[in-house]
Amino acid sequence: MDSIKVMSYNIHSGIGRDGVYNLERIRDVIARENPDIIALQEVDIGLKKSHFDDQPMRLSDELKLYSYFCLTRVTEKGTYGILTLCRFPIIE
């Protein structure tokens, strides 16, 4: 392997500039760019505004990538964090 493609993306809980929640649109952008490592910010689990989705699980499963989710904020309404997705196994 000569190079590794890295992508950083603030997904704003899956809500686009049009105000519409659409995690598939985010998944498609990532798939189209085809990075090896992806660092996602403002990823959430179980919030009403994101249809109570488990975004880390959905993105990891749908893109067939290894993942690591780090909690940055836990509230009574849900959980926020950052998500790393990777083509390679995440050891530590």
Q: Average per-residue pLDDT in the chain?
A: 95
Statement: 6-86 belongs to CATH 3.30.110: yes
- Which of 51, 28, 53, 56 is CA-nearest to residue 41? 56
Question: Any idea where the domains of the chain sit in the sequence?
Answer: 6-86
3-class DSSP state of 33: helix
Give the pLDDT confidence of 19-59 residue by residue, as tens digits.
999 999 999 999 999 999 999 999 999 999 999 999 999 99
Percent of the chain with pLDDT over 90: 90
What pLDDT is attached to residue 92?
78
Is residue 61's pLDDT more than 90? yes
Give the whole-angstrom CA distance, residue 45 versus residue 88: 24
pTM, whole model, 2 decimals? 0.92
Percent of the chain with pLDDT over 70: 99
Is residue 8's pLDDT more than 70? yes
Give the whole-angstrom CA distance, residue 78 versus residue 48: 8
CB-CB contact of 48 with 2 (8 Å): no
Using the 8-state DSSP alphabet, how is residue 35 labeled? -
